[in-house]
Amino acid sequence: MSESLLLALQLITQADAQLLGIVALSLRVSITACLVGALAGLLLGAWLAVARFPGHGALVWAVNTLLALPSVVVGLAVYLLLSRSGPLGSWGLLFTPTAMVVAQSILVVPLIAALSRRLVADALASGGDELRSLGAGPVMAALLMLVHQRLAVVTVLLTAFGRAVAEVGAVMIVGGNIAGVTRVMTTAIALETSKGDLPLALALGLVLLGVVGLIHGLIGLLPGQQGREAAMGGALA
């Protein structure tokens, strides 16, 4: 373990071009996937919090169940879709970073939708009537609650990012782990593990954690993050 720690530090300080490329790709793919997933997931979650139609319960159940979607299953499904022999084969997206973004977006949408639905529903329980009396329609009220709860929404997105950047099953299948093109941190770790180079694999794992930790640290420093937290301890029901 200490060997891996030392190795990890070495890797970071040497900042080898290949490693930087792999880290950059991991971040690009997962951040893009989270943004795409946020758009779809937040809208879906907000809508589910206010929509009333027969089958609404079934849809909520489906979203919650998909929280447990194994990443390798998503990878397989997207692979079959994007394969040349599949329906979207002519787009030529397989084994490219775009395919990886697609797979990870699909992976995080249920997570974002389920969690944002809960926080919008809870917020509407306290203030929904009042927003309604101000003339906000149900969807508008739901969207306003997302703004109202934006710190919680950020946490949801960070959770989704964590899920995306740490998964290996989906990106391995749809990306192909091609050196220099679709190799990300997690697939590199998997590769080194299967080559038997366990210390290097662990070291890469530590580097991954370090990069994610750095991102979270930077977000925590954003102007207004601490101030608002203190202010929110106020009377908002």
Partner 1 sequence: MNAPERPRPAPALAAAPLVTLQGTGVRFGDKQALQPLQLTLSRGQRLALIGANGSGKTTLLRLLHGLLAPAGGTRQVHPLQPEGRAPRMAMLFQRPFMLNLSVRANVRLALWLAGVAKADRVERCEQALRRVGLQAEARRAAGTLSGGQQQRLALARAWALQPDVLFLDEPTASLDPGAKREVEALVADLGSDGITVVMSTHNLGQAKRLATHVAYLEGGRLLALADTDTFFHAPLPPEATAFVRGENPWL
Partner 2 sequence: MVVTRPTRLMRRALLALALLCAAGAQAQDRFIVMASTTSTEQSGLFGHLLPAFKAATGIDVRVVAVGTGQALDTARRGDADVLFVHDTVAEEKFVVDGWSVKRQNVMYNDFVLVGPKADPAQARGNDIAAALKKLAATGAPFVSRGDKSGTHAAELRLWKAAGVDLAAARPAGYKECGCGMGPALNMGSSTGGYVLTDRGTWLSFKNRGDLVILVEGDKTLFNQYGVLVVNPARHPHVKAALAQQFADWVVSPAGQASINGYKIGGEQLFFANAGR
- The site for partner 1 (CB under 8 A) is made up of 126-127, 129-136, 140, 144, 147-150, 228, 231-232, 234-237
140 binds, among partner 1, partner 2, none (CB under 5 to 8 A by kind): partner 1
What three-state secondary structure class fits 87?
coil
Are the CB atoms for 160 and 108 separated by under 8 Å?
yes
Among candidate residues 23, 162, 25, the one with its CA nearest the CA of residue 101? 25
What secondary structure letter does DSSP report for 90? G
Q: Is 31 in the site for partner 2 (CB under 8 A)?
A: yes
Minimum CB separation of residue 17 from partner 1 in Å reads 44
**From partner 2, partner 1, none, interface partner of 149 (C-beta below 5 to 8 A by class):** partner 1
Q: Are 189 and 204 in contact (CB under 8 A)?
A: yes
- Beta carbon of residue 89, minimum distance to partner 2 (angstroms, whole number): 7
Closest residue by Cα to residue 102 from 189, 163, 164, 60 = 164
User: Considering the rule CB under 8 A, would residue 209 count as an interface residue with partner 2?
Assistant: no
Judge contact between 156 and 116, C-beta under 8 A: yes
Q: Is 176 in the site for partner 2 (CB under 8 A)?
A: yes
Give the residue among 89, 97, 76, 90 at the shortest CA–CA distance from 33.
97
**Which listed range, 40-48, 55-63, 95-103, 130-138, lies at the site for partner 2 (CB under 8 A)?**
95-103
178 binds, among partner 1, partner 2, none (CB under 5 to 8 A by kind): partner 2
Nearer to partner 1, 156 or 189 (CB): 156
Of these partners, partner 1, partner 2, none, which one is at the site of residue 232 (CB under 5 to 8 Å by kind)? partner 1
Angle at 227 between CA 155 and CA 44, to 5 degrees: 30
Report if residue 155 touches partner 2, rule: CB under 8 A: no
DSSP letters, 14-34, are HT-HHHHHHHHHHHHHHHHHH
- Joined tokens for residue 178: 């091609």
- Does 70 bind partner 2 (CB under 8 A)? Our answer is no
Residues that bind partner 2 (CB under 8 A): 28-29, 31-32, 35-36, 83-86, 89-90, 92, 94-98, 101, 176-179, 181, 191, 193-198, 222-224
